[in-house]
A = this chain, B = another copy of it.
Amino acid sequence: MGDVFKALADPTRRAILDELIERDDQTLFELCSRLAAKHRVASSRQAVSQHIDVLVGAGLVKTRREGRYKFHHFDPQPLEQIGERWRQRRPEDPCRSR
């Protein structure tokens, strides 16, 4: 549960999710080159790989093996759970008054 927030706390990992939203099922090398080109993220392959491990640990990314390729897929399900948890206080809250 807290793993999701920790995963989203890093800007590189958020960029990875943005990239997977734009184009699903990318490999590690695809992600690296696209992150460098479009998101101005200059991270090595190993760095990106470790970020992906964190995202997988948080349930935000699912992987699929095909030969020597490993494709990555964004799974938004954990985000919906945390969205519900922290949305309780909204309706009865017009107390912007100081």
A residues contacting B by CB (< 8 A) are 2, 5-6, 8-11, 14, 17, 21, 24, 62, 64, 73-74, 76, 79-80, 83, 86-90, 93, 95, 98
Say whether chain A's binding surface is mostly helix, strand, loop, or mixed.
mixed
Number of copies: 2
Point out the residue from B6, B9, B98 that lies within 8 Å of A64, measured CB to CB.
B98
The reply to whether A21 and B88 contact each other, CB–CB distance below 8 Å, is: yes
Residues from chain B with a CB closer than 8 A to the CB of A80 are 87, 90
- Sampled A-B contacts (27; CB under 8 Å): A2-B9, A2-B10, A2-B11, A2-B14, A5-B5, A5-B8, A5-B9, A5-B14, A6-B9, A8-B9, A9-B9, A21-B88, A24-B95, A62-B98, A64-B98, A73-B95, A74-B89, A76-B86, A76-B87, A76-B90, A76-B93, A79-B83, A79-B86, A79-B87, A80-B90, A83-B83, A83-B87
